[in-house]
Structure 1
Amino acid sequence: MRADLSPLIAATAQWLTRAYPACGGALASALCEVQARQAVTVAAWLRYPTVMDAALVGMAGPGGSARLDRINGTDSDPTGTGAGTDGADAWRSWVDEVVASWAACLLTDPELAALAVAGLDGGDHTTGLPMEFRRLLAPDARDREAAALLRHPDLLAPVTELHSTQLMDLLGPGQALIA
């Protein structure tokens, strides 16, 4: 049985691509979205490594984008709930701040991204699945151009700094990545 993290992954990837949009047209947007989604997937699987963890966040909810919006300067949430007043931004309630921060770390540090992907092997989310994170781990020139803002360390610094210490502790030497 797999717990479904897809609402959290979709919302968090959407937040990242709205906060740091693609540079270019439709193809660039698609390439940027794939990179964000791969980074968020890895981060979510690290954050919620077991089926039980994923089920619990599915029941309790991840917390929303309110703090990320304030940090990014796009605080369009007067209620502070992560969802706009008219409900059009209800997806924001499914954004996970820690996952967004970890994904930002992975997007800006290729070595950390490789270590994180390697740490997923044998976990609840990857059992029996082929893992392909090429656009995260080895972006080509078109990928890098499309996601220039999404992968810019200075622009993402306020987001990465939120929870990078937790990620470093998790991925540090001698740490067991999967419980």
Structure 2
Amino acid sequence: MAGPSAALSPVIAASTHWLVRAYPSSGADRSADTLAELQARQAVTVAAWLRYPTPVDAELVAIAGPGGSAVLDWRAGSEPDDDLADGEGWRTWVDEVVVSWAACLLADPLLAARAVDSVAAAVPAPDNRPRPRRVGDLPSEFRRLTAPDARDLEAAALLRHPDLLEAVSDLHKEDLVYLLCA
């Protein structure tokens, strides 16, 4: 697994930004925005690590680019106005598959737990000693994704609503389920 590769940072940031703009927080207060963004970032990070499992994959997407958000914008009805297109360059770094997989993970906590376990089993140990990773090593880092509390759920009601996410999550859900053997 590529794990925490700096090459994936633009993809993770842009894909997270797309999710948060397409499915905004409850807006009750500033902390709701932050909690929703944290959940989106955790889902996108896991999805990106699954999508680009090696450092070579991560570097290749950094060179070639992930493809952009055009299909996602159309499916979610969040296409930017032509007048505002100048400030929308970040959309070119959105990865359609990563966003679709992240939407699947946000809508299904069991699938999210399986994805985090898959990443945990494959991410290299930080001290680079060859030893197997235990499933369950990373869940605390992805707690807001796999075990959200009441505040998390309230803040990200739109971001976690399976019916609202369906247009995006269904794009590549079969591939994710196949990958995780769920």
Question: What TM-score does the superposition give when structure 1 sets the normalisation length?
Answer: 0.87
Aligned to 2:152: 143
Do 1:22 and 1:32's aligned partners in 2 also have CA atoms closer than 8 Å?
A: yes
Residue 122 of structure 1, CA deviation: 4.2
Aligned to 2:37: 33
1:21 aligns with 2:24: yes
Distance 1:63 1:155 in 2: 23
Distance 2:43 2:158 in 1: 15
**Residues paired across the two proteins, number:** 167
Q: Show CA shifts across 1:100-121 (max 9, x none).
A: 0000000000110000000012
Aligned to 1:72: 76
Aligned to 1:177: none
Larger relative helix fraction: 2
Residue 77 of structure 1, CA deviation: 6.0
Residue 4 of structure 1, CA deviation: 1.9
Question: What TM-score does the superposition give when structure 2 sets the normalisation length?
Answer: 0.86
2:66 to 53, 62, 68: 62
- Please provide the CA RMSD for this pair: 1.9
Aligned to 1:128: 126
Q: Give unpaired runs (5+ residues) of structure 1.
A: 79-83, 174-179
Identity over aligned pairs, percent: 60
Aligned to 1:81: none
Distance 2:78 2:100 in 1: 16
Do 1:15 and 1:92's aligned partners in 2 also have CA atoms closer than 8 Å?
A: yes
Aligned to 1:50: 54
Aligned to 2:134: none
In structure 2, the CA distance between the partners of 1:58 and 1:77, relative to structure 1 (3 Å rule), is farther
